[in-house]
Amino acid sequence: MDILLFTSVLGLLPAIYPIVRIVRKQELNLFDLIILFHVLNFALVPLWRGNILHWTNDGIVSTFLYYITFVIFVLLVDLYWHNVYEGKKSLINITAYIKRYNGFKISKTGILLIFIILLASLVFYMPKATYILHLEDAGAALNHEETVQTLLLGNFFNIAGTVLILYFSCNVKKPNLKDVGLWLFLAYMIMNLFFPRRVFLSLLLQVLLCVYSLHRSFINRKVLVFASAFGVFLYFVYFPFYNIMRNGSSVVYFNPSAPIESLMEISSYAIDNWSLMSEDATKASDTRSLNLYDAVYDLIYCNPEPCCGELTWKAIDVSIPKAFNPNKGDGSAPILEKLAKQNSDQADSYLLIAYGDYHYFGSFYALFIYITLFSIYILYNRLLRKLFNVEFLSLFFALILFSLTWNVEASLDGFLSWFFSSVPALIIFVILEKFRLIQIHLGKKIVLNKKCYLNKKGNRF
Query: Can you spell out the DSSP letters for 273-320?
Result: THHHHHHHHHHHHHHHHTHHHHHHHHHHHH-PPP-TTHHHHHHHHHHS
- Name the nearest CA neighbour of 365 among 315, 295, 331, 400: 315
Residue 91 belongs to some domain of the structure? no
Residue 3 belongs to some domain of the structure? no
Q: What is the pLDDT of residue 276?
A: 67
HEC per residue, 334-398: HHHHHHCCCCCCCCCCHHHHHHHHHHHHHHHHHHHHHHHHHHHHHHHHHHHHHHHCCCHHHHHHH
Residue 260 belongs to some domain of the structure? yes
Q: What is the pLDDT of residue 452?
A: 35
Q: What is the pLDDT of residue 419?
A: 76
Whole-number Å distance between alpha carbons of 84 and 65: 29
Residue 8 belongs to some domain of the structure? no
CB-based contact 439:448 (threshold 8 Å): yes
Residue 39 belongs to some domain of the structure? no
Q: What is the pLDDT of residue 416?
A: 81
CB-based contact 114:163 (threshold 8 Å): yes
User: pLDDT averaged over consecutive 10-residue blocks of the chain (461 residues)?
Assistant: 88 95 93 95 87 86 95 97 91 92 82 89 75 52 60 79 88 83 92 81 91 84 80 79 68 62 73 68 64 91 91 89 81 88 80 94 95 92 86 86 89 80 80 79 46 38 25
Residue 355 belongs to some domain of the structure? yes
- Name the nearest CA neighbour of 52 among 239, 347, 286: 286
For the chain, how many structural domains are there in total? 1
Q: Which residue range(s) make up the domain with 172? A: 105-452
Whole-number Å distance between alpha carbons of 50 and 4: 7
Q: What is the pLDDT of residue 259?
A: 60
Residue 432 belongs to some domain of the structure? yes
Q: What is the pLDDT of residue 243?
A: 74
Phi, psi values for residue 283, rounded to 5°: -65, -35
Cα 449 to chain centroid distance, Å, stands at: 30
Residue 58 belongs to some domain of the structure? no
